[in-house]
Structure 1
Amino acid sequence: MPKVTKYPRLRTKVYKGKGGKAYVYYVYDMRKENKPDIRLGTDYAKALQKWDELHNLRPQDIGRIEEAFARWEERELPKYSADTYAGYLKNLRTIRPVFGQMVWDEVDLPTLRQYLDLRTAKTQGNREMSLLRLIWGKAKLWGMTRTPWPAEGIRGWKNEENARVFEVTPELFRAVYAQADQVLRDSMDTASATGMRLKDVIAVEMPRNGLLKRIANKTQKVKGAIEFDIADSPVLTRIVQRRELVDTLCPNLLVLPNGLPVTYRMISRRWEDARDAAAYRAEVTGDDELGKRIRQMYLRDMRSFAANLAEDIDEASKLLDHSSVNVTRKHYRTRATRLKAVR
């Protein structure tokens, strides 16, 4: 007969920390459900209390991080734009099985760091920790916990990230532009002239009273929306003049020749075809280095190209609609700052 225990499914686990020191903690065995074991902590008395809640089907979420996860998903997540919503939801689904059944004081800095060490996608792990901190702050606001964020005031505890640095030179721009059809050319021109993200380029409507109005889909900014005077831009003027010749009810600036709206996938496919053609053209003429650089370029790099065309870093930051000049400098502005010698 199987051994009868006073606390069924209560198991003890031992692991070694740094320096070889052994640690003991308790878990609720979830192998029957083919799920990860639920951690009950290192304190035996508290572990028995949590075991009682789980084993006797008492409410499991009260006092646990899952309570905050559920409330945040219901109340806060729908407030974000579509792209941010999708990213946060993906991150939430990753951290929920790990931290959901923990109580607040179980999560300390070594636990967070261990999660990042075990996470194979290092940059994504940082994003997941940022979301956990965001939800943690909301939980404190809602009165679910008084426990401070374990990494508060600690620098360098996340995985190191290296910002991608890639400069779109006029040569690279012209190489792909030469292989593009008119729809892609208009997309590249609009993005590089205004600094818009691709989804904003696709969604922006025809100008009114000579002004092209942009409202960023990513940030959902309505107050202080950015406007461009078409008359100030030869590039935008040509695009608008061509667009006015198309017979369509679509209000968007960019449309297909038959008047149908342009989609994200259409532009992406056109970009990949034009970029590959441009790279191949460079390679067959013996310029392998140029071909390599062309293949490394993304359509989103048009924003970086626009930032470098701006007069200075402040103008570039405004063009890209950034809240901080530091973001522009770190991720987009690759053009060197030219100073005047003082003597």
Structure 2
Amino acid sequence: MRARTRSRKYSDPVTYYFYDAGGQPRKEIPLGTDYVLAVKKWAELETKKQVPAVTFNQLAARYIHDIINSGKTAPSTAKRYQAWLKPLQQFFGNPDAPLNKIHPSHISQYLQWRKDTPTTANNEISLFTIMWNYGRELGYTNQASPAQGVKKHTLKGRKDVYIEDHIYKFVYSHADETIRDLMDLAYITGQRPIDLVKIHSHHIHDGILHITQQKTGAKLRFHITGDLADIINKRNTGSYLFHNSQGAPLTRKALTERWVRLRHNLIARYPEMAKDLESFQFRDLRAKAGTDIYLSSDADTARAQLGHTSTAMTKQYIRKDKVLEPLKRK
């Protein structure tokens, strides 16, 4: 509120009050000379003043700057987020929707629009909620995510896939030495493929293997004993444990290509096992490890081995329930 005092020749000075409405040129609304009434009118005008709502593209730009491009997420995660964000911006950002105008019905419409890729659509809505909650932290909105309570696509996913021991042993028996060691390492540690191929001799000291997960940054330590010791003693030559045929460090992509090639060759030779082999992805060994630890111990032990922060996350990797014992008759 602005105040201007004007002198008078034959009486006391008078103070006039104004509401600054901004604009170019500046616009001022007179509020009178009574201070109490002027404050009341100023408050009424201030309440009526409309603050432009934050839009989806503004939220997306802030999230890209603060999170995706900031190095706070793993490169692979940032790449996925960028891919998932494109259709979200196409739907909610063209035209640019104010956050307070996005409702649950729009989330349902989005899922229907992306029905041809249901898994990706579900992931995109998960990212939408992550971004929305970040916007709440910034004060962009005080509303809960409109995706909350909206049913996503029902998927026939990989959460039911468990690699039985006989399938594991069958593939293992036909694999080369590098793939065998990687399979063993994936199973006995429960780590992701990307973290296995990046193990370097620098991660091995004082009888402990140190792994920092690329996806989450979780730091894990494994005593180098038993099968783990056998693999490390054989492969620890002062560099990366795993290399390609040219001697360069083995990449995650190269591992996948070798795995797919092995699987296809086995399907061609043993078509009767095609169903089991087709569903066997290398990453399933992480779920097998988590499941087997849970079956022999408990969910919290599996959580620690997989590097999760909560057992709720670990339960997504557990593919079997424990065998129950019947009660004895009294």
Please state which band the TM-score falls in when normalised by the shorter chain: 0.7 to 0.9
Does 2:216 correspond to 1:219? yes
What is the distance in 2 between the residues matched to 1:144 and 1:239?
Answer: 52
| Match in the other structure for 2:170 | 175
% identical equivalent positions: 25
- 1:236 maps to what in 2? 228
Q: CA RMSD in A?
A: 2.3
Corresponding residue of 1:308: 291
TM-score by length of 1: 0.71
Instruction: For 1:208 and 1:257, locate their aligned partners in 2 and report how far apart those are by CA, in whole Å.
Output: 27
Q: CA deviation at 1:199?
A: 0.2
Cα deviation code 1:186-210 (max 9, x no counterpart): 1111101100100000112232111
CA 1:74/1:238 → structure 2, altered by over 3 Å: closer, same or farther?
same
Summarize the alignment of residues 28-107 of structure 1 with structure 2, pairs less than 5 Å apart.
63-77=54-68, 78=70, 79-100=72-93, 101-107=96-102
What's 2:248 paired with?
Answer: 260
CA contact 1:166–1:334 (8 Å) conserved in 2: yes
Could you tell which deviates more after superposition, 110-119 or 308-317?
308-317
Aligned partner letter, 2:125 = M
**Residue of structure 2 equivalent to 1:337:** 322
Q: 1:322 to 1:163 in 2, by over 3 A?
A: farther
Question: What per-residue deviation string (whole Å, max 9, x for no partner) do you get for residues 145-181 of structure 1?
Answer: 34443344x3x53223344211211211122112211
Q: What's the CA shift for 1:66?
A: 1.4
Aligned match of 1:158: 152
Provide closer, same or farther for how the CA distance between residues 281 and 94 of structure 1 changes in structure 2, counting only shifts above 3 A: same
CA–CA separation in structure 2 for the residues paired with 1:274 and 1:263: 17
* Counterpart Cα distance in 2 of 1:218 and 1:338: 33
Q: Matched residue of 1:149: which SS?
A: coil
Q: 1:279 and 2:272 equivalent?
A: no
Once residues 150 and 260 of structure 1 are traced to their aligned partners in structure 2, the CA distance between those partners, rounded to angstroms, is: 48
Contact persistence 2:125–2:147 (CA under 8 A) = no
Counterpart CA distance in 2 for 1:131 and 1:273 is 33
In the other structure, the counterpart of 1:56 is none
Question: Quick check: 2:84–2:123 contact (8 Å CA) kept in 1?
Answer: yes
What is aligned with 2:140? 144
1:293 equivalent to 2:276? Answer yes
Q: What is the Cα deviation at residue 219 of structure 1?
A: 0.5
2:65 counterpart letter in structure 1: E
Partner of 2:34: none
Bigger Cα Rg: 2
The residue matched to 1:212 in structure 2 has which SS? strand
Matches within 5 A, 1:9-24: none
Deviations 1:91-134 (A, max 9, x none): 11111122121112321111111111121212222222222222
Question: Match for residue 6 of structure 2?
Answer: none
Q: Which residue of structure 1 aligns with residue 37 of structure 2?
A: none
TM-score by length of structure 2 reads 0.73
Structure 2 residue aligned with 1:18: none
Secondary structure in structure 1 of the residue aligned to 2:315: helix
Contact 1:175 1:278 in 2 (8 A): no
Distance 1:139 1:326, change over 3 A: closer
Return closer, same or farther for 1:167/1:107 CA change in 2, 3 Å cut-off.
same
Q: CA deviation at 1:184?
A: 1.1
CA contact under 8 A between 2:104 and 2:147: conserved in structure 1?
yes
Residue 338 of structure 1 deviates from its aligned partner by 2.5
Amino acid at match of 1:281: R
Say if 1:258 and 1:103 are closer, same or farther in 2 by CA, change over 3 A. closer
Give, as a single letter, the amino acid of the residue that structure 2 aligns with 1:196: Q
Equivalent residue for 2:307?
Answer: 321
Structure 1, gaps ≥5 residues long: 1-60
Deviation at 1:218, TM superposition (A): 0.7
1:240 Cα offset (Å): 1.5
Among 103, 107, 117, the alignment partner of 1:108 is: 103
Deviations along 1:243-297, whole A, 9 cap, x unmatched? 14x4xx52x23235775311123212221222223333333xxxx1x23211221
Q: Give the 3 Å change call, closer, same or farther, for CA 309–65 of structure 1 in structure 2.
A: closer
SS at match of 1:271: helix
Decide whether aligned partners of structure 1 residues 113 and 181 sit closer, same or farther in structure 2, where only a CA change above 3 A counts: same
Deviations 1:210-264 (A, max 9, x none): 111111111122xxx2111112x2x2122122114x4xx52x2323577531112
Asked if the contact 1:243–1:254 (Cα under 8 Å) also holds between the matched residues in 2, the reply is: yes
- Does 1:123 find its partner at 2:119? yes
Unpaired stretches in structure 2, ≥5 consecutive residues: 1-51
